[in-house]
């Protein structure tokens, strides 16, 4: 019975993990605007996108927002 509970718990935890959400940078886009549009912060965007250079965004670049 403990095995079933552990398996059920593992399945539930896997099912509740959020799916990553990405947006594409538009012409003139900034991290400030992307954060505002997606109800998050620039700090959070930087954590979700290691190595992202906010001064070198390119049109079409995918940014993870969740």
Span 13-66, pLDDT tens digits: 567 888 999 999 999 999 999 999 999 999 999 999 999 999 999 999 999 999
Residues in the chain: 66
Whether residue 65 contacts residue 34, with contact meaning beta carbons closer than 8 Å, is answered with yes
Sign of the CA dihedral with 37 first, then 42, 44, and 50 last: positive
Residue 59 lies in a domain: yes
- CATH label of the domain that carries residue 41: 3.10.350.10
- Residue 9 resides in a domain: no
DSSP state of 7: H
As a dihedral over the C-alpha atoms of residue 10, residue 11, residue 15, residue 19, rounded to 10 degrees, the angle is 60
For the question of whether the overall pTM of this predicted structure is more than 0.95, the answer is no
Residue 12 maps to a domain:
no
Q: 22 pairs with which residues across the strands? A: 64
- Structural domain includes residue 13: no
Q: How many domains does the chain have?
A: 1
Q: Which residues span the domain enclosing 34?
A: 20-66
């Amino acid at each position: 019975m403990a095995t079933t509970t552990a398996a059920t718990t593992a399945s539930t935890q896997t099912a509740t993990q959020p799916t990553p959400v990405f947006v594409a940078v538009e012409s003139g886009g900034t991290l400030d605007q992307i954060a505002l549009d997606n109800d998050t912060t620039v700090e959070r965007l930087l954590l979700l996108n290691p190595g992202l250079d906010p001064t070198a965004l390119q049109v079409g670049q995918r940014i993870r927002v969740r």
